[in-house]
Amino acid sequence: MLASVKQLQVVNSFAQLPPVFYTPLQPQVLSNPRLLHANVEVARLLGLSETALSSQDFLDVVSGVKPLPDGKTLAAVYSGHQFGVWAGQLGDGRAHLLGEVVGPGGNWELQLKGSGRTPYSRMGDGRAVLRSSVREYLASEAMAGLGIPTSRALALVVSDDPVYRETVETAAIVTRVSPSFVRFGSFEHWSSSPDNLRLLVDYVIDHFFPECRIEGGNPDDDILRFLRSVVRKTAQLVAHWQTVGFCHGVMNTDNMSILGLTIDYGPYGFMDAFQVNHICNHSDTQGRYAWNAQPSVANWNLYRLASSLLGLGLDAEALKGELAHFEADFLQTYQSNLCNKLGLRQWQPGDESLVDDWWGLLHGQRADFTLSFRELAVAPQQPAAFVAGFDDKSAAQAWLDRYTQRLDQEARPVSERIDQMNSVNPVYVLRNHLAQGAIEAAEKGDASEIDTLLKLLRDPYVEQAGYEAYAAKPPEHACQLEVSCSS
């Protein structure tokens, strides 16, 4: 039976670590907080009833007015590399962990983002603006709809309190949900403190990687197996990002989940016009986190994680041996995804060239990433319509001829292939202009556009009548939208 807020079973496993890992403190309450939206699907994961979402108890918790019943509210400390440079101590500068709910299918930590200053805020104000809060709320659910590992979003609270960014905006709080918010930077923080690093490693392995623990075995081998698992999960995650045209925007080590989840949605973007070196973050002036750089950056971040484990006396060559699996792990998922997206049964020698030339065609024509894959399903049967979508029609026709020949090698039934492609190539993704429309409505207190987008993004592969505009190319003005680290 689904429960009320007060009936939730709450544990606090992270809070059982020594006090040096966090600071207990309550959020800074917003003025007149109002619930703009609550996510029924995520509530079910926690065991919360839909009725509970409209209760005062629920609003009190997700606005930070009252603690989660039986929860221990805290802000965690961590460190990290930001844009490739060691930034030293960081931490939850505008987030509060409320506790860990024992849900029907697992445990979920609840965290408020935008809930006020903490000892780790540095020069920040501890707030999140409505604009970025709506974007995170929608993005995490969009990724879940695509089947990509991610944190989730439970609630969006708004206020009239001013927040100063490039302009004056209003404050909001997102309730984020994840099995854990431990990140690569959590390990980096303790790299020179072996006792605390060992406690963190043991906590993470015991709670989230128990399969890496062999009773009576060498503890160092447990850690190597743990690193191997993190390498695999991270490589798979970035391969998923690449094959849906997603750019994270700020792949700092403090934004990398140890569980291989997409977390900390800031200046992210789903590509419209494809460019292999697309930069979604206006603050990323050097293009460190461009689309084509994401795999190499993820690998670099894993080296930083492994370097922190040297503090436990592990052998450097043994750690490198686990890291060496990254490329193969990435390619396995990347190639498998592309086989499905291209309607191929399995990857064959020569497919690398076909895919590289596909990226080259999309790049040279600035073709729409999502629509190009979706339209490819019927391109062999409707070549004229496919080719008409490209300025360089001869290049498009030449590639389509090669692709059709590749399909002919498998002699696969057309209907079977089309069904497969349509099951993995989405009709709807969270384009920037769609998110912006939801933001503008939310600024007026209207959550209807959030409802519409969640409806489409939760089942992104199925065309829904009456929503053609949400699947179309973005309007011309959309290219002027910019997202930055202030998002």
The answer to whether the CB of 106 falls within 8 A of the CB of 208 is: no
**218 backbone φψ class: left, alpha, beta (φ>0; ψ -120 to 50):** beta
φ, ψ dihedrals at 409, nearest 5°: -65, -25
State whether residue 89 is helix, strand or coil: strand
The answer to whether the CB of 95 falls within 8 A of the CB of 113 is: yes
Structural tokens at position 322: 């686990």
Cα–Cα dist 294/236, whole Å? 12
Cα–Cα dist 474/391, whole Å? 18
For 13-65, the three-class secondary structure string (H helix, E strand, C coil) is CHHHCCHHHEEECCCCCCCCCEEEEECHHHHHHHCECCHHHHCHHHHHHHCCC
Residue ranges in 209-263 assigned as alpha helix (H) = 219-244
**What residues form DSSP beta bridges with 106?**
103
Cα–Cα dist 309/311, whole Å? 5
Cα–Cα dist 388/384, whole Å? 6
The answer to whether the CB of 163 falls within 8 A of the CB of 471 is: no
Cα–Cα dist 259/208, whole Å? 8
DSSP string for residues in 232-285: HHHHHHHHHHHHHTEE-S---GGG-BTTS-B---SS-EE-SB--TT---BTT-T
Per the annotation, the verdict on 254 as an active-site residue is yes
Reference 310, options 190, 205, 203; nearest CA is: 190
Q: CB-based burial of residue 284 (10 Å sphere; 0-12 exposed, 13-18 middle, 19+ buried)?
A: buried
Cα–Cα dist 199/17, whole Å? 8
∠ CA 406-410-413, rounded to 5°: 110
Reference 27, options 78, 63, 3; nearest CA is: 63
Catalytic-role residue among 160, 202, 221, 254 = 254
The answer to whether the CB of 298 falls within 8 A of the CB of 312 is: no
φ, ψ dihedrals at 31, nearest 5°: -75, 130
- The strand pair at 168-178 and 74-76 is best described as unpaired
Cα–Cα dist 106/280, whole Å? 34
Mind telling me the catalytic residues? Answer: 254
